[in-house]
Amino acid sequence: MATNLKRLVFKNWKSAIIFWLGNHLFMNWMPYTIRHWYLRSFCKMKLGKNSAICMGNFITGKNIEIGDNTVINRFCYLDGRVQLKIGNNVNVAHYTLIQTLTHDPQSPFFVCQEKPVEIQDHAWIGARAIICPGVTIGEGAVVAAGAVVTKNVEPYSIVGGNPAQFIKNRSKDLRYKTRYFPILDTDIQ
């Protein structure tokens, strides 16, 4: 029993150190090449080609998959303790929070609830948006800045507010490929 406990403690500490180094050293001080190598190799993130994880983000959990040509801008929180899947050509603006865990407010034991999040291709998440656990953001959808998304967002729709509500539809003619690699911690490319 003591041996199993020691293994569990060592495993948890090892994982904690990996993410601590990632969040406090690699996410803040390293160029893209080294940052992305660390995220893939040690944090087990699946990161597509020409995707950018900008400086200053906080990442936790080994269940994150990001497609090609996707940008996660500065100061976002990516919760990969449960599956977080972000598609191709997705833009996630500054200070966005994406959560995959919550607690049951009715539980006398504050039970943890695990709910995966998916953000599909060509979605655009505005600055300071909050994506709650269990949400799917449909293909081509736009989440306005500051929106709190508690329910699924239909493809090619624009939502905003708290809680996020439908505003209007977005054009389905989306041909762009996102490529955003600002130099250091600037918006200069």
pLDDT at 33: 93
Residue position matching structure tokens 């996630």:
92
136: left (phi over 0), alpha (psi -120 to 50) or beta: beta
pLDDT at 9: 66
Quote the CA–CA distance of 3 and 39 in Å, as a whole number: 30
pLDDT tens-digit readout, 86-131: 999 999 999 999 999 999 999 999 999 999 999 999 999 999 999 9
Say if residues 131 and 143 touch (Cβ distance below 8 Å): yes
Quote the CA–CA distance of 100 and 116 in Å, as a whole number: 5
Quote the CA–CA distance of 48 and 177 in Å, as a whole number: 13
pLDDT tens-digit readout, 44-76: 999 999 999 999 999 999 999 999 999 999 999
Report the catalytic residues.
Answer: 103
pLDDT at 2: 67
Given a cut of 80, is residue 3 above it in pLDDT? no
* Exposure string over 35-52, b if 16+ CB within 10 A, otherwise e: bbebbeebbebebeebbb
Quote the CA–CA distance of 26 and 19 in Å, as a whole number: 10
